[in-house]
């Protein structure tokens, strides 16, 4: 298939038996349209797939087109396995993607079972069709840079130097987010095509072929206190130590190579892309060893930058974990972004909420932006972001918007949008969803739940409860995911999607699902003893049962 085959369908013509089913079909098409390698059903993060294989994809399309209101489609790791009668208030689709039993949840088993066509990894928002392109991660990254600016740089990143790596599906957002925050950002990337792609879509301004050239561009922009984004072709495992050795100390250092996956993600130093592709076929064990060894150099340099005074953080790619396994004892002195910068927000269930215009009409999103800017004028995080995003973030695939909203706020927005759909103010229905990296929805002891106050980092009951709760609350799609590839055994998370089609039933579904989704997040953090969550419980009247276990 060619790129052209991955078009997003817009307008009001239905191919399914109702808007809810049509919405889910369009969302699946959308993750492929904006994905990294749609021919292989890959959306992002090296192996995150929209469906197990093409026969599964086609069977899902067929099932969605024929699905009745009172039926539920079951999807197991990207493969549809049946359509069963439920009832009109039940989810249309439920999914379990890549969940392996504890002792067996290892990368090596995953690769074997993937080959045997027993499993596939859905990433977070890939397998359950919630990905909206780079906007989500642009916003998340921008939010992190803003928090760092607040805490360390007097709220001003102009003239500051950010060093990072990886220009893939998620990492490709870094240059834009860094420049939007006002900084000079250098991103090291080993694959020239990735650099070209980010330049073409306007996320990256400049390309450099040598470190000297890149550093000169950064220095000049710093002197002028102007934002710039530079992509440097090279291997971060070699470039980071070289910058450190030259005595240059960036203000902020992170990394978003796909270091979580030692086989299909990270590219070890000294190997070409072709040599890595060959090793993937012939010697996975060797590839894992050389990738880990390369990560050791990469993270040793990051620790070195931290010693020199850079603000260094792990951006959710397990790079510290692999470095530690490779012998970098101090790897975990680098904090993870969630604990370091975002936890107070998550404790109030403020997180990455998003909505998608199923009509494919960008004006729908702009009209919702207008409402948000009026209603949340005093909310700095929301209003600042929406204004910036309008100016700087191009729509990809179906027009969509993300904003960090919390308990009650999400429901309020969704009900207003459902009214706008009902009254014909928008040209079509809107789908609401969120990242799995959300208060009640993820256990990941090296990303989301590292150093939880009560020590509950690895307890995966929370996302399971969240998924069962949104199922019982009539969401349209609910998914339970666990890690695959290098994330195998590291995480469990839950996804939810609800469609505002303008009906009274949608009011009920949105109200129940979105309110209960964030309530479960507040309860999770309240249980762990976070004051912000306990305050939210009180302020919003969430019916928490306190047994005193963590009083």
Question: Residue 256, annotated ligand binder?
Answer: yes
92 binding ligand NAD? (CB under 6 A):
no
For 385-416, letters b (16+ CB in 10 Å) and e give bbebbeeebebbbbbbbbbbbbbbbbbebbbe
CB of 437 to ligand NAD, least distance (A): 5
Q: Which stretch binds ligand NAD (CB under 6 A): 64-72, 83-91, 186-194, 323-331?
A: 186-194
Instruction: Name every residue whose Cβ is closer than 8 Å to that of residue 85 and which is 6 or more positions away in sequence.
Output: 70, 71, 72
Q: Which stretch binds ligand NAD (CB under 6 A): 52-60, 264-272, 380-388, 466-474?
A: 264-272
Type and span of the H or E element at 269: none
170 binding ligand NAD? (CB under 6 A):
yes
- The vertex-139 CA angle with 137 and 143, nearest 5°, equals 115
Question: Residue 169, annotated ligand binder?
Answer: yes
Q: Which stretch binds ligand NAD (CB under 6 A): 39-47, 52-60, 380-388, 413-421?
A: 39-47
Give the nearer residue to ligand NAD in terms of CB position, either 149 or 510. Answer: 149
Give the nearer residue to ligand NAD in terms of CB position, either 19 or 487. Answer: 487
Question: Are the C-beta atoms of 187 and 162 separated by less than 8 Å?
Answer: no
Q: Which of 127, 169, 178, 489 binds ligand NAD (CB under 6 A)?
A: 169
Give the nearer residue to ligand NAD in terms of CB position, either 493 or 511. Answer: 493
- Measured over the CA atoms of residue 42, residue 436, residue 143 and residue 236, the dihedral's sign is negative
- Angle 362-375/380-392 helices, nearest 10 degrees? 150
Alpha-carbon torsion, ordered 17, 20, 22, 24, to 10 deg:
-140
Taking the C-alpha atoms of residue 44 and residue 42, their distance in angstroms, rounded to an integer, is: 6
Give the nearer residue to ligand NAD in terms of CB position, either 137 or 431. Answer: 137
Give the nearer residue to ligand NAD in terms of CB position, either 168 or 502. Answer: 168
Type and span of the H or E element at 527: helix 504-527
Backbone angles phi, psi at 312, to 5 degrees: -115, 140
CB of 320 to ligand NAD, least distance (A): 12
Q: Estimate the share of the chain in helix, then strand, then coil, as percent rounded to the nearest 5.
A: 45, 15, 40
Q: Which of 188, 358, 398, 514 binds ligand NAD (CB under 6 A)?
A: 188
Question: Residue 33, annotated ligand binder?
Answer: no
Instruction: Name every residue whose Cβ is closer than 8 Å to that of residue 214 and which is 6 or more positions away in sequence.
Output: 186, 208, 230, 232
Give the nearer residue to ligand NAD in terms of CB position, either 441 or 542. Answer: 441
- Measured over the CA atoms of residue 365, residue 371, residue 376 and residue 380, the dihedral's sign is positive
Question: Residue 236, annotated ligand binder?
Answer: yes
38 binding ligand NAD? (CB under 6 A):
no
Per CB under 6 A, contacts with ligand NAD among 201-240 are: 235-237
Q: Which stretch binds ligand NAD (CB under 6 A): 146-154, 251-259, 395-403, 453-461?
A: 251-259
Taking the C-alpha atoms of residue 475 and residue 91, their distance in angstroms, rounded to an integer, is: 5
Q: Is residue 332 packed enough to be buried (19+ CB in 10 Å), middle (13-18) or exposed (0-12)? A: middle
Q: Which of 75, 165, 299, 498 binds ligand NAD (CB under 6 A)?
A: 165
437 binding ligand NAD? (CB under 6 A):
yes
Taking the C-alpha atoms of residue 356 and residue 351, their distance in angstroms, rounded to an integer, is: 17
450 binding ligand NAD? (CB under 6 A):
no
Q: Which of 57, 194, 207, 297 binds ligand NAD (CB under 6 A)?
A: 194
CB of 296 to ligand NAD, least distance (A): 12
131 binding ligand NAD? (CB under 6 A):
no
Question: DSSP labels for 157-201?
Answer: -TT-EEEEE--STTGGGHHHHHHHTT-EEEEEES-HHHHHHHHHT
258 binding ligand NAD? (CB under 6 A):
yes
The pattern of x and - marking residues 316 through 335 that bind ligand NAD according to CB under 6 A reads xx------------------
CB of 250 to ligand NAD, least distance (A): 16
Question: Residue 485, annotated ligand binder?
Answer: yes
Count of positions on this chain that bind ligand NAD (CB under 6 A)? 34
Binding-site annotation: residue ranges: 169-171, 189, 194, 235-236, 256-260, 266-267, 485
Binding-site annotation: residue ranges for NAD(+): 169-171, 189, 194, 235-236, 256-260, 266-267, 485
Contacting positions for ligand NAD (CB under 6 A): 36, 44-46, 137, 140, 165-171, 188-191, 194, 235-237, 256-260, 265-267, 315-317, 437, 447
């Amino acid at each position: 298939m060619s790129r052209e085959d991955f078009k997003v369908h817009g307008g009001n013509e239905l191919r399914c038996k109702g808007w809810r089913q049509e919405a889910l079909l369009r969302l699946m098409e959308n993750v492929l349209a904006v994905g990294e390698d749609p021919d292989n059903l890959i959306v992002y993060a090296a192996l995150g797939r929209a469906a197990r294989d093409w026969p599964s994809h086609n069977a899902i399309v067929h099932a969605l087109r024929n699905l009745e209101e009172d039926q539920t489609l079951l999807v197991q790791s990207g493969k549809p396995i049946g359509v069963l009668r439920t009832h009109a208030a039940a989810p249309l689709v439920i999914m379990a993607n890549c969940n392996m039993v504890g002792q067996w949840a290892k990368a090596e088993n995953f690769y074997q079972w993937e080959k045997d066509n027993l499993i596939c990894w859905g990433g977070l928002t890939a397998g359950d069709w919630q990905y909206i392109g780079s906007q989500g991660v642009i916003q998340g990254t921008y939010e992190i840079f803003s928090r760092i600016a607040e805490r360390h740089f007097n709220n001003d990143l102009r003239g500051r130097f950010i060093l990072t790596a990886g220009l893939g599906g998620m990492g490709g957002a870094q240059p834009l987010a860094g420049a939007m925050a006002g900084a000079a950002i250098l991103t090291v990337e080993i694959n020239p095509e990735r650099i070209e792609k980010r330049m073409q879509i306007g996320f990256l301004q400049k390309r450099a072929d040598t470190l000297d050239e890149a550093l000169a561009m950064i220095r000049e922009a710093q002197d002028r206190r102007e934002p710039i984004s530079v992509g440097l072709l090279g291997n971060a495992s070699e470039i980071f130590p070289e910058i450190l050795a030259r005595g240059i100390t960036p203000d902020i250092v992170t990394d978003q190579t796909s270091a979580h996956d030692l086989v299909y993600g990270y590219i070890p130093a000294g190997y070409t892309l072709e040599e890595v592709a060959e090793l993937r076929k012939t010697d996975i064990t060797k590839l894992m060893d050389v990738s880990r060894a390369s990560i050791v150099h990469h993270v040793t340099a990051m620790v070195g930058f931290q010693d020199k005074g850079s603000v260094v953080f792990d951006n959710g790619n397990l790079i510290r974990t692999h470095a530690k396994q490779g012998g970098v004892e101090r790897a975990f002195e680098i904090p993870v972004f969630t604990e370091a910068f975002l936890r107070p927000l998550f404790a109030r269930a403020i997180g990455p909420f998003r909505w998608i215009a199923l009509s494919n009409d960008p004006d729908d999103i702009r009209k919702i932006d207008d409402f948000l800017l009026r209603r949340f004028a005093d909310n700095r995080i929301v209003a600042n972001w929406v204004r910036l995003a309008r100016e700087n973030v191009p729509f990809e695939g179906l027009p969509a918007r993300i904003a960090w909203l919390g308990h009650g706020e999400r429901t309020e927005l969704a009900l207003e949008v459902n009214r706008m759909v009902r009254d014909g103010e928008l040209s079509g229905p809107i789908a609401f969803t969120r990242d799995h990296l959300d208060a009640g929805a993820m256990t990941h002891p090296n990303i989301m739940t590292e150093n939880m106050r009560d020590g509950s980092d690895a307890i995966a009951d929370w996302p399971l409860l969240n998924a069962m709760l949104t199922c019982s609350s009539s969401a349209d799609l609910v998914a339970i995911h666990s890690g695959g590839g290098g994330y195998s055994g590291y995480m469990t998370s839950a996804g939810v999607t609800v469609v505002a089609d303008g009906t009274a039933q949608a009011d009920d579904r949105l109200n129940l699902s979105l309110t209960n989704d964030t309530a479960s997040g507040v309860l999770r953090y309240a249980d762990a003893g976070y004051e912000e969550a306990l305050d939210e419980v009180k302020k919003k009247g969430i019916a928490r049962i306190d047994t005193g276990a963590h009083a």
